[in-house]
A = this chain, B = another copy of it.
């Protein structure tokens, strides 16, 4: 096994046109592969606008099965380029049963693993509990051609337990396809702290577990047609980044433009970090039972 694997992260804008989004996502992933990326991650639900800003039964029409058209399109690209691709999509599993799903496609074009978002948010303009049934496949790692990958999705990023369980399964890199943005009216007061907390918690997963982390967000404003972007909708804050097992940021995208990041992740670095700060050695697994409780009353 060679020391490095190259991670590619695609930060993109998402239009009203799913076909156009898929086409551009394919093109950007292809560009990442051309730049040497071996394992490529796309943002959460990149095929569509972030439709969860409202609750509308018609929007379930945006879902698709797995396998389905989006996985088929990326299976072709993965096989053609010989790369691994992590594809987030709105999964229709059965009539009336939908998930927020990430499919890991291996370098031969086969579906290597499926992850269904475990933690589902529900906040003003992020009405995900309406659309997505919480995942029932648990936290997972996938043995792909280039690396053992772990994929979690957006809101999962706030939960150290998800990162830990994925790392304990041997993931060398954690992917977080994401769609997170500012409420325009909150941005001035809270925006910097929100984006900093988002970056900090994910860097902390790298540090706590000694793994690489790759967080991939979308960019651009999305809101009701004709709305005032300074008052309504969401401004997705980009900031896609890849950090090493020490939490050191290796590459980071800006806040507003489409970008492709490609970074070499080193297994020697992971070993070195874990050997020098051997956190996994000392976990008090005899004392962690309460983690499965909601709250601990005396």
A272 CB → nearest B CB, Å: 10
The answer to whether the Cβ of A58 comes within 8 Å of any Cβ in the partner chain is: no
Bound Cα distance A158, B246 (Å): 12
The answer to whether the Cβ of A201 comes within 8 Å of any Cβ in the partner chain is: yes
Contacting residues, chain B, for A134 (C-beta < 8 A) = 284
Is B208 in contact with A159, judged by CB distance below 8 angstroms?
yes
For chain A, the bracket of interface size reads 35 or more
Closest B residue by C-beta to A286: B292
The answer to whether the Cβ of A293 comes within 8 Å of any Cβ in the partner chain is: yes
Closest B residue by C-beta to A160: B160
Is A168 in contact with B293, judged by CB distance below 8 angstroms?
yes
Bound Cα distance A278, B159 (Å): 11
Is B165 in contact with A290, judged by CB distance below 8 angstroms?
yes
* Residue interface mask A237-248, B partner, CB < 8 A = 1: 000000000111
Is A168 in contact with B296, judged by CB distance below 8 angstroms?
yes
**A residues adjacent to B (C-beta < 8 A):** 118-121, 123, 134, 138-139, 155, 158-162, 164-165, 168-170, 193, 196-197, 200-201, 203-204, 207-208, 246-248, 276-280, 282-296, 298
